[in-house]
């Protein structure tokens, strides 16, 4: 059956293979030497399964696709407040290499333009350039699930042509944004941009973000869920150079492109995409890369804001197990809206029972918001002279009995306690 998906991806690539629009980046001379026809696509599902199409073995330099990952690493290492003090999260609407900062704060507008990315490098703790770079290198490798290497030719090529980035770094230093020597920080930035990846690496790195920071090959957490949420947010608003608005409406996935021709796109909770084709449009995005992502999004329904259906009812079944004892079977993921539905239903129906039993054995996941909301259940029920029990064999509520309703391992135990309670003999 997986072949159907494979054929589907091959067809999308075939549909775009003949397009030769755009041009290779040439401001870094080495980038102009790649095969302009190189074309690859990889799609990594949340469970780590990867589909590949075209040529997924081509290695290219990550360039600006590195930016969200160094930003995530900075957030991870020094925390959000310290990062926010140096880098904003507002789309600049300007080209990636513009020499500018926020008028009021004198800090880079966001981490996806060069000024913000160079500042992000300076926030990675390290006494030397090597120490900083090693952390970045290790982090990207951990996200990709394999050890990545640096393209020394591209690195040297950009080192000698990087006047604009040098201007940006010195400007940032003059505004007190850079922690460290501008030339050393630039060296790390250029090295990070020269890390070699394949589309499969990009897809895996994107999938690590899609999984909230857990890499699929080693099943290792490399970043916290909060850091990933922050990172994806800036990818949505600033990831595709100055074409972010068009990208979000047409493709609808947090993404980052690079002048090496790569794009990484993330569908949170579901998958990561890596695509490569080195001919770029005037904004610096891979022409065929964008076309492929558009096609994938439209045909596979991957837009992150597409509302396919309203969230399912959390209460799958309600019945009276014995007079005055009502059982509510819940299922799926219990988040804010589900917990709200449960509480409102109990409120409306509490005239019809003495004891409510919430059956949670079919709940897949529950978040802290829902936990907090259910915490108040027993209290509100007892205000109405009622009792609330919970059947929670997997301990998804992870709570003490005092705070919440009484918790039981099986429905039978809960029913016995409910009947005893009604009979007035509950101890
Ligand atoms: N190393 C490149 C630069 O700083 C990255 C640019 C990009 O991919 O947007 O100019």
pLDDT band at 215 (very low <50, low <70, confident <90, very high): very high
pLDDT band at 400 (very low <50, low <70, confident <90, very high): low
- pLDDT above 90 coverage of the chain, percent: 72
Q: How far is the CA of 192 from the centre of ligand 1 (A)?
A: 10
Confidence tier at 425 by pLDDT (50, 70, 90): very low
Rounded distance, CA 127 to CA 111, Å?
A: 22
Mean pLDDT confidence for 298-321:
84
Closest protein CA for atom 6 of ligand 1: 64
Pairing relation of β-strands 60-61 and 149-150?
A: unpaired
What is the tens place of the pLDDT at every residue in 90-116?
887 777 777 778 888 889 999 999 999
pLDDT at residue number 405: 67
pLDDT tens for residues 246-300? 899 999 999 999 999 999 999 999 999 999 999 999 989 999 999 999 999 998 8
Distance 280 CA to ligand 1 centre (A): 13
For the question of residue 67 being annotated catalytic, the response is yes
- Residue 305 CA to residue 204 CA, distance in Å, equals 22
- Name, of 99-108, 361-370, 399-408, the range with top average pLDDT: 361-370
The per-residue pLDDT of the chain, averaged, comes to: 91
| Rounded mean pLDDT, 203-224 | 96
CB count within 10 Å of CB 168 equals: 28
Q: Which residues line ligand 1 (CB under 6 A)?
A: 63-64, 96-97, 114, 158, 165, 193, 258-259, 284
Residue 361 token pair: 């054995």
DSSP state of 310: P
Mean pLDDT, rounded, for 78-88: 96
Task: Please state the pTM of the whole predicted model.
Answer: 0.87
């Amino acid at each position: 059956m997986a072949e159907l998906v494979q054929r589907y991806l091959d067809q999308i690539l075939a549909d775009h293979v003949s397009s030769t629009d755009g041009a290779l980046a040439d401001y870094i001379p080495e980038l102009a030497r790649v095969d302009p026809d190189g074309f690859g696509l990889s799609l990594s599902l949340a469970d780590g399964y990867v589909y590949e199409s075209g040529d997924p073995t081509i290695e290219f330099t990550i360039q600006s696709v590195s930016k969200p990952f160094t930003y995530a690493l900075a957030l991870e290492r020094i925390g959000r407040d310290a990062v926010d003090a140096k880098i904003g999260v507002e789309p600049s609407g300007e080209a990636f290499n513009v020499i500018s900062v926020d008028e009021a704060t004198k800090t880079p507008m966001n981490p996806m333009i060069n000024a913000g990315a160079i500042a992000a490098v300076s926030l990675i703790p390290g006494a030397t350039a090597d120490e900083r770079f090693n952390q970045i290198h290790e982090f990207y490798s951990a996200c990709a699930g394999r050890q990545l290497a640096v393209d020394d030719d591209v690195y040297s090529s950009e080192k000698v042509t990087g006047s604009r980035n040098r201007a940006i770094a010195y400007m940032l230093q003059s505004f007190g944004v850079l922690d460290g020597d501008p030339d050393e920080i630039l060296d790390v930035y250029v090295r990070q941009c020269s890390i070699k990846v394949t589309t499969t690496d990009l897809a895996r790195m994107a999938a690590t973000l899609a999984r909230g920071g857990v890499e699929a090959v080693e099943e290792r957490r490399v970043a916290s869920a909060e850091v990933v949420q922050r990172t994806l947010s800036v990818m949505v608003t600033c990831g595709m150079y100055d074409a972010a608005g068009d990208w979000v409406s047409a493709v609808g996935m947090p993404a980052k492109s690079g002048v090496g021709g790569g794009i990484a796109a993330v569908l949170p909770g579901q998958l990561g995409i890596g695509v490569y084709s080195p001919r770029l449009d005037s904004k610096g995005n891979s022409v065929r890369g964008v076309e492929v992502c558009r096609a994938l999004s439209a045909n596979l329904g991957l837009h992150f804001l597409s509302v396919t259906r309203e969230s399912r009812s959390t209460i799958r079944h309600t019945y009276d197990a014995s007079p005055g004892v009502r059982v509510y079977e819940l299922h799926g993921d219990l988040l804010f809206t589900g917990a709200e539905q449960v509480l409102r239903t109990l409120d409306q129906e509490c005239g019809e029972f003495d004891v409510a039993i919430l059956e949670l054995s079919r709940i897949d996941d529950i978040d802290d918001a829902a936990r907090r909301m259910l915490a108040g259940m027993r209290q509100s029920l007892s205000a109405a002279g009622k009792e609330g029990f919970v059947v929670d064999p997997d301990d998804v509520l992870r709570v003490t009995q005092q705070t919440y309703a009484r918790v039981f391992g099986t429905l039978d135990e809960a029913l016995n306690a409910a009947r005893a309670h009604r009979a007035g003999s509950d101890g």
